[in-house]
């Protein structure tokens, strides 16, 4: 199967830009053989490679990443390690699977935290919790009430906060109400991915800047790269939005680009204007319309807002320019006291969406396994998906593996151009439903 689309490095990721420089590991040059080939070194791929190496220490694992570690989608998200069920758009599929997601997300978050500690990964990790906020009273009543019900039914700790309480904690009075869950974590995603990659077990060989151009099946799987070949007995595909390019989950997911802006560190006078708050993270009741925000440990503010359908994975410059201007308006509406703050970094990243919210996970062909379809907020989701995929591929069974299976499979999508019309209509409808959250 020839792969006709690859991730592109545009050197704009703000999370990696604020980190010390890192020298990538070498690209593949020549031919190698392995028991396992893992394609994609995001959260799922790193977790799968690590777990395979732990479960099968006598096996060799080759991990290929098309870009430098931390420069792909995994290093471009908002930096939330969310360990409670969470809705992204107006749909509530994940909340309907709350019992399964509770166990999965808690296990994923706990494993990540354990790895940060044992491997000395410095990613600015903090269990500061998450504020799930609504701007309008209508959506506060409609969405937050459902969210509260599910948290209560799952015995998850939370607090309901009004506008004044949120203002004291966040430094903005923009939100009508919110629900705070204290167990969620905040981090620099690029630093986390770097740390996970640089601490892999010795029987994992990682090659960066090594995209797979062709994957053929025979006595062995043969993955062709620009300067080499990998022959492997089994394959794990952790390419998320690019899974259909390998021939799997075609017409089961579609790519969406999201955008982020990160300010320069606020000065002490600027911080005092908003009450000099502690580090925090905000997710909106409808992330397809509202703004996800972070106030970081080094006093930066992140705005992540706007989703763009990107069927060809490319984002026109005109869209980038328009969204960059939108982010400034979003920022000013929430923090009018900080009109002099500098918007230092702006970037885009691509996620994939499935129609019914189910992940793309499991065995997709003889000796081929895949993990993708995160539907957003993928740090913990994809970490546990990758780990459990390795266990499943190794013949292990557990309650968590059964939880993954219980989430179902992505439902089918129409062919293009009907898909294009449907997705654009879906995004337009979400924007209309959540227009009060902008």
188-224 pLDDT, tens per residue? 999 999 999 999 999 999 999 999 999 999 889 999 9
* Domain CATH code at residue 127: 3.50.50.60
pLDDT tens per residue, range 362-415: 999 999 999 998 887 889 999 999 999 999 999 999 999 999 999 999 999 999
Q: Specify the pLDDT at position 98.
A: 76
Give the predicted TM-score (pTM) of the model: 0.95
Domain-embedded: residue 5: no
**pLDDT tens-digit profile of 282-329?**
999 888 889 999 999 999 999 999 999 999 888 999 999 999 999 999
Lowest mean pLDDT, pick from 35-39, 72-76, 150-154, 243-247: 150-154
**Residue 3 lies inside a defined structural domain of this protein:** no
Highest-confidence segment of 29-33, 136-140, 142-146, 374-378: 29-33
Rg (CA), the chain: 21
pLDDT at residue 90, as a whole number: 45
The residues near 26 (Cβ < 8 Å, ≥ 6 apart) are 207, 208
Cα–Cα distance for residue pair 438/435, rounded to 1 Å: 6
pLDDT of 239 above 70:
yes
Token pair listed for 23: 């020298």
H or E element that contains 171: none
Determine which of 29-43, 266-280, 351-365 has the lowest per-residue pLDDT on average.
Answer: 351-365
Q: For residue range 82-129, what is the model confidence (pLDDT) as tens digits?
A: 988 765 544 545 556 778 888 999 999 999 999 999 999 999 999 999
Is residue 84 in a domain?
A: yes
pLDDT reported for residue 88: 53
Domain limits for position 308: 14-437
Residue 8 belongs to a domain: no
Percentage of residues in the chain having pLDDT higher than 90: 81
pLDDT for position 57: 97
Nearest to 183 by CA among 116, 107, 117, 115: 107
pLDDT exceeds 90 at position 30: yes
**Interior/surface letters 97-109, b for 16+ CB within 10 angstroms, e for the rest:** bbebbbbbbbbbb
Helix/strand/coil for 318: helix
Q: Using 50, 70 and 90 to split pLDDT, how confident is the model at 147?
A: confident
Residue 255 domain flag = yes
pLDDT at 428: 86
Q: What is the per-residue pLDDT for 71?
A: 97
Please give the DSSP secondary-structure letter assigned to residue 337: G
Give the mean pLDDT of the chain.
93
Number of domains in the chain: 1
Of 45-59, 135-149, 210-224, 318-332, minimum mean pLDDT range: 135-149
């Amino acid at each position: 199967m020839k792969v006709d689309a690859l991730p592109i490095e545009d050197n704009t990721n703000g999370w990696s830009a604020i980190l010390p420089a890192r020298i990538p590991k070498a690209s593949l040059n020549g031919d190698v053989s392995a028991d396992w080939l893992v394609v994609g070194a995001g959260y799922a791929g790193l977790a799968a490679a690590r777990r395979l190496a732990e479960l099968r220490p006598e096996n060799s694992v080759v991990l290929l990443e098309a870009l430098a570690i931390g420069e792909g989608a995994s290093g471009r998200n908002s930096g939330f390690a969310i360990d409670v069920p969470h809705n992204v758009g107006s749909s509530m599929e994940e909340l309907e699977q709350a019992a399964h997601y509770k166990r999965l997300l808690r296990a994923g978050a706990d494993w990540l935290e354990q790895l940060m500690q044992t491997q000395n990964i410095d990613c600015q990790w903090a269990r500061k919790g998450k504020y799930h906020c609504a701007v309008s009273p209508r959506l506060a009543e409609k969405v937050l009430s459902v969210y509260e019900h599910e948290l209560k039914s799952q015995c998850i700790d939370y607090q309901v906060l009004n506008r004044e309480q949120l203002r004291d904690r966040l430094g903005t009075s923009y939100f009508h109400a919110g629900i705070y869950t204290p167990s969620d974590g905040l981090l620099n995603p690029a630093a986390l991915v770097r740390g996970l990659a640089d601490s892999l077990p010795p029987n994992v060989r990682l090659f960066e800047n090594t995209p797979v151009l062709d994957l053929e099946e025979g006595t062995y799987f043969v993955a062709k790269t620009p300067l080499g070949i990998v022959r492997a007995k089994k394959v794990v595909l952790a390419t998320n939005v690019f899974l259909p390019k390998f021939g799997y989950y075609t017409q089961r997911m579609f790519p969406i680009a999201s955008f982020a802006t990160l300010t320069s560190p606020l000065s002490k006078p600027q911080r005092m204007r908003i009450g000099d708050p502690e580090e925090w993270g905000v997710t909106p009741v409808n992330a397809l319309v509202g703004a996800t925000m972070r106030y970081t440990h080094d006093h930066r503010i992140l705005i992540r807002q706007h989703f763009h359908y990107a069927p060809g994975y490319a984002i026109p410059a005109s869209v980038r320019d328009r969204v960059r201007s939108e982010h400034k308006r979003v920022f000013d509406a929430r923090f009018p006291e900080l009109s002099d703050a500098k918007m230092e970094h702006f970037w885009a990243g691509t996620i994939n969406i499935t129609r019914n919210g189910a992940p793309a996970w499991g065995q997709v062909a003889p000796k081929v396994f895949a993990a993708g379809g995160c539907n957003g907020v993928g740090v913990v989701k994809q970490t546990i998906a990758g780990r459990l995929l390795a266990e499943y591929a190794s013949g292990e069974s557990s309650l968590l593996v059964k939880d993954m299976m219980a989430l179902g499979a992505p439902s089918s999508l129409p062919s293009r151009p009907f898909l294009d019309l449907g997705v654009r209509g879906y995004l337009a409808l979400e924007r209309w439903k959540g227009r009060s959250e902008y």
